[in-house]
Structure 1
């Protein structure tokens, strides 16, 4: 029997997740109301089907900015199928989503890697009720998004996602801070040469990747807030990731800016916004 999927909402990651399913013939619906032309283009490219509502869907996937996860869940309160929250939220917020959707079977998801456009690049970690997790594992099996099942409750997949992101994304914040500091003291070229020689496969030694990070920092800022909350809940200091969130906040104006340069981003770090 074919599973019908609803997707909330097709941003860059969400559209790629939807495309991974439509590529194998799984129908995926989305809600165009209130969405802009860029979202529509992504949905069309991914082979998604426009719908007025998600009635009749067996599974709903939520792939959205972390700060919107609870509101997105509330928008489909009353849903009775399998709901996957695949957002970069804290374990506490993941359990809150499950409470909001008390008529659904809620599974927890953590996407690690870039938008899945080829096999072997991106994993979907799953935790929560066994039946829901098994259904989602079967749904994504053989797609470009590799499902990985964790034995544990809602919140476990989110914890793994945030633990990985707390290292992966902070490396870009630290590299940007280092390059900005060097530039301000007139040794920017020397740092680039040194880092390229000693740490060539890091954001410090290959700073071109910082420009790509700058385009996504509007999402990463919210993710840092979730990691800070998860850290505090675990008895850890949230200070380091909170500081990274403040750094990413200085790049808000470069949201999805394909033309942003490393120099633009470094300058933004030494000029307070507003």
Structure 2
């Protein structure tokens, strides 16, 4: 276990990690030097203790459950992109597309490291690629052999992740890890937008954000099986105020009102969606 590499991965998604661990980088260097002398068997305990101090002396059970929930989703995404990169030729991934997917894969790896480190011994067991079924029990049999299908599933994953993090913000409110969760949330949103950009570049008529699809549905992925991912995204009211035509502005249509706001997704709904891919 290389502590230095883990910290560097975490720094990609939490730029304040050094300040959380110690007010001085010199102290961290001392820790690294000490870590090289610690027995390998003691490393997990030492690392868990370090992150406990960084992210709070104690973690409420509901926060722990939320972080493990997020960690499961990050494992799901990491293995999805990692397998795609390893089998790029089968999906026709190359050039800029392969570079983008590799970058997203690396981001998800850093998210896993951060969440697992923050949880310490309370983290769920490590999830392997074989713990997931990316065909969604046969719904997407060509997910790793067809570029279009791969991107459609990637879009559903990213849009789910964005809404899932938003849905758990109230649970994390008041806890130090909320900042970290929001930092991951914003990166997932950028992933979602870029995947949509890639789909548009391949000829799919789609916007960089969730928009109303046929029949007023918010599922603009073109995949009916993804309906649960977009449930409620066609909402046109906020804070009990109807946004459509507000203040006499006829330019704010139902489609525009729905696109202007992103809705949270309840944990139970996310688990239903993820359940399609978890063995």
Query: What's the TM-score once normalised by structure 2's chain length?
Result: 0.28
Query: What's the TM-score once normalised by structure 1's chain length?
Result: 0.28
| Larger fraction in strand | 1
| Larger fraction in helix | 2
Q: Which has the higher contact order (CA 8 A, sep 6+)?
A: 2
